[in-house]
Amino acid sequence: MADTILHADGLYHVYESKAEDGNVVALRGLHIDMKEGEAIAVVGPSGSGKSTLMKCLGGLMKPSAGSVSLAGKNMTRLTGQELVELRQKTVSFIFQEGNLLPDLNARDNVAQPLRHQGVPSRKALALADEMLTKLGMSHRLKALPAMLSGGEQQRVAIARALITQPRLILADEPTGALDPVTSREVLALFKDLHENDGVSFLLVTHSKEVAAFANRSLELRDGRFVAEHGESVDVENLTKDRELIIDETGTVTLPPDLLVRLGGAGRYTVGNINSGYISLQGESVESMGKMVLASTCPACKHDYKDSDEQLCPSCGSSRPMVEA
C-alpha cells in the first residue's frame, strides 16, 4: 500500500475580525489522508475555504487548530528553517496569479528555486530553458513578467513549480488564466507527471475538466467536506464530524458518508415528511463524469469526425470538452 504523502487531522482555521459579524471560521475540522502518487481535486464555490485549506496544507499558513503532516513530518511542530527545507524537498505551489518575481525574466524565475537549493546558476538556467521549452515558451525565455500575457505568466509559474521535481504539487486554479487549448496541454503534462513519475497532485478548482483529471474529488462547502466522488472511496474513512446542516435558505448538508452511500449529488424526492422522518428517493447524478472532446463545433456545427483537432478548421473556435 502506498505511503501517505499528506495528512490533515481536525483542521480548523479562524480569521479574527473586529467587524460587527465577528470572526470568520474558514475551516471546520477537516480530515484528509492523501497517498503517494494520488491526485485529488478540491471543488466548491467561492468562499468555501479552498484557498485557506491549500495554504494550511502547504505550510504557508498555520491552522488555528489541528495538525498537518507532509511526508510523515508534522509541520506544526517544525521550526521555520526546518519547514522551509521540508517544503523545498517535497512540495511545489502553483497559484492562479502566477506570483512571478517582476524584476527577473522567465528563465531566471524558473531557475530561482534550484538556486535556493544550491544548484550552480549555469546548470539551473539550462534546466529552466529545458522546462520552458517543454511548455512552449522557448521564444519568451528573456521576457520580464510584465511583457508576458496572463497565460504565458502561468506557464512560467508552472515551469517554476515543476523544476525541482517535487513529490507533491499544490495548485490553486492552475488553469484559471489559460485558454482551453493551453489548459489541456498543461493537464496533459500533469497527467504525464502523475502517471509516469508518480507525482501527487492536490488541485483546487472550479473546472470540471480539471477535477476529472483527479482520482477523486472532495466537495468543500462552508469549511466542511460534504461529499467525495471518484475511485476507491472508503466509506468507513468518512464517518468523522457527522452533522446535518440546514442553513437559513433551507439548504441541507448531509454527512459525507451518507452522501457517498446515496451516490453523491443528484435530484431526490422527499417523502414521509409528516411522520417526523425524511425519506429520500430518486436517482443520483454522477458529479465527476469522464470528459471527452466535443464531436461537433458549438459555434459553426463543424463535424470533427475522428479528428483530435483542438481548433475548429471552419471558424477557429476552441474545441470544448463535454461529459461523455
36-55 burial by CB neighbour count: b if 16+ within 10 A, else e?
bbbbbbbbbeeebbbbbbbb
17 or 51, which is more confident?
A: 51
| Domains contained in the chain, CATH given | 4-217 (3.40.50.300), 290-324 (no CATH)
Q: pLDDT confidence of 246, banded at 50, 70, 90?
A: low
The per-residue DSSP string of 222-250 comes to TTEEEEEEETT--GGGG-SS---EE-TT-
The CA distance from 128 to 94, in Å, is 16
Coil/strand/helix, residue 181: helix
Residue 66 has pLDDT above 80, yes or no: yes
Condensed to tens digits (0 to 9), the pLDDT of residues 71-117 reads 888 887 887 788 888 887 888 888 877 688 999 999 999 999 899 88
Q: Which of 27-41, 67-81, 88-102, 226-240 has the highest mean pLDDT?
A: 27-41
Q: Give residue 289's pLDDT.
A: 53
Q: What residues are paired with 209 via a beta bridge?
A: none
Residue 66 identity (one-letter amino acid): G
What mean pLDDT is predicted for residues 263-276?
61
What mean pLDDT is predicted for residues 253-272?
60
Q: Give residue 243's pLDDT.
A: 45
Contact 171, 202 (CB under 8 A): yes
C-alpha cell at 271: 417523502
Contact 215, 38 (CB under 8 A): yes
Q: Give residue 29's pLDDT.
A: 85
Q: pLDDT confidence of 282, banded at 50, 70, 90?
A: low
Q: For all residues of the chain together, what is the average pLDDT?
A: 79
In angstroms, the Cα distances linking 324 to 179, 271, 293 are 21, 32, 9
Q: Where do the H-state alpha helices sit in 135-278?
A: 150-162, 180-197, 208-213, 256-262
Q: Give residue 255's pLDDT.
A: 56
What mean pLDDT is predicted for residues 132-147?
90
Q: Give residue 143's pLDDT.
A: 92
Q: pLDDT confidence of 279, banded at 50, 70, 90?
A: low
Q: What residues are paired with 15 via a beta bridge?
A: 24
Residue 247 has pLDDT above 70, yes or no: no
52 or 233, which is more confident?
A: 52
Residue 233 has pLDDT above 70, yes or no: no
Contact 57, 6 (CB under 8 A): yes
Contact 254, 226 (CB under 8 A): yes
The per-residue DSSP string of 38-83 comes to -EEEEE--TTSSHHHHHHHHTTSS--SEEEEEETTEEGGGS-HHHH
Residue 276 has pLDDT above 60, yes or no: no
Q: Give residue 231's pLDDT.
A: 59
Condensed to tens digits (0 to 9), the pLDDT of residues 146-201 reads 998 877 888 898 889 889 888 899 998 888 777 788 788 888 888 888 888 888 99
Residue 61 has pLDDT above 90, yes or no: no
What mean pLDDT is predicted for residues 262-290?
57
